[in-house]
């Protein structure tokens, strides 16, 4: 099987570009809209069409150039839909801050995922090395203490959820440290 090009980067760049183009166009030309028989066709619909075409091309052909085109179309469609998130959620306010929050959260998540997938071997190696050091035990204990303190101090569901997740992560770090320590002792010759 041939290695595929890094299509996620193409999709992410075209997402950003189409979002910026749509937002810029709407800022400078807010009255230019496509209306037919009293129906206002938002660029959300063009985004769905681009997603469909990009997805269809991506799963239908095993060709590097077509795969790149599919990723670009898919990302562009996502950007057009992302630009309309605020309007879709509020049914009236195109300029709501929800759109920017959504797009920034998506970009942070997608960028992080791309980096993790691209460098997963190095990340796992670094993580394994970290869990073997005393720093992981100290960091896990600190993280558990802070998370439990936040959990005990508030009744906010979001903060409590984050605190529970961070406590679980801290427990995993502490457990990984001790598992590594036990495994090293068992491997030492007597």
Cα torsion angle, 160, 161, 167, 171, sign = positive
Query: Measured between alpha carbons, how far is residue 14 from residues 42, 49, 54, 147, 160 in Å?
Result: 19, 15, 12, 38, 37
Q: What is the pLDDT along the chain (190 residues), one digit of tens a residue?
A: 455 657 888 999 999 999 999 999 988 988 877 777 877 778 888 999 999 999 999 999 988 899 999 999 999 999 999 998 888 888 777 778 888 888 999 999 999 988 888 888 998 898 888 888 888 889 999 999 999 888 888 888 888 899 899 999 999 989 988 888 888 888 877 6
Give me the phi and psi of 157, to 5 degrees please.
Answer: -65, -40
- In DSSP terms, which residues pair with 41 in a beta bridge? 34
CA neighbor of 147 nearest in space, from 184, 111, 174: 174
Determine the distance from the C-alpha atom of residue 14 to the mean position of all C-alpha atoms in its chain, rounded to a whole number: 15
Decide: 114 and 54 in contact? Cβ < 8 Å: no
* Residue spans per domain, the chain: 7-118, 122-187
Cα–Cα dist 90/88, whole Å: 6
Put simply, whether the predicted model's pTM sits higher than 0.95 gets the answer: no
């Amino acid at each position: 099987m041939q290695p595929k090009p890094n299509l996620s980067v193409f999709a992410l760049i075209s997402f950003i570009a189409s979002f910026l183009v749509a937002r810029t166009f709407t800022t400078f030309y807010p009255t230019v809209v496509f209306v037919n028989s009293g129906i206002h066709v938002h660029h959300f619909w063009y985004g769905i069409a681009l997603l469909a075409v990009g997805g269809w091309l991506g799963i239908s052909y095993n060709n590097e150039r077509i795969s790149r085109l599919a990723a670009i179309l898919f990302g562009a469609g996502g950007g057009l839909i992302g630009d309309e998130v605020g309007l879709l959620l509020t049914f009236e306010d195109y300029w709501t801050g929800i759109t920017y929050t959504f797009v920034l959260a998506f970009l942070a998540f997608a960028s992080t995922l791309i980096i993790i997938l691209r460098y997963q071997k190095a990340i796992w190696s670094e993580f394994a090395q970290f869990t073997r050091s005393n720093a992981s035990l100290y960091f896990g204990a600190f993280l558990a203490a802070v998370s439990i303190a936040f959990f005990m101090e508030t009744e906010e569901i979001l903060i409590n959820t984050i605190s529970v997740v961070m406590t679980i992560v801290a427990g995993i770090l502490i457990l990984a440290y001790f598992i590594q320590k036990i495994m090293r002792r068992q491997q030492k010759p007597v």
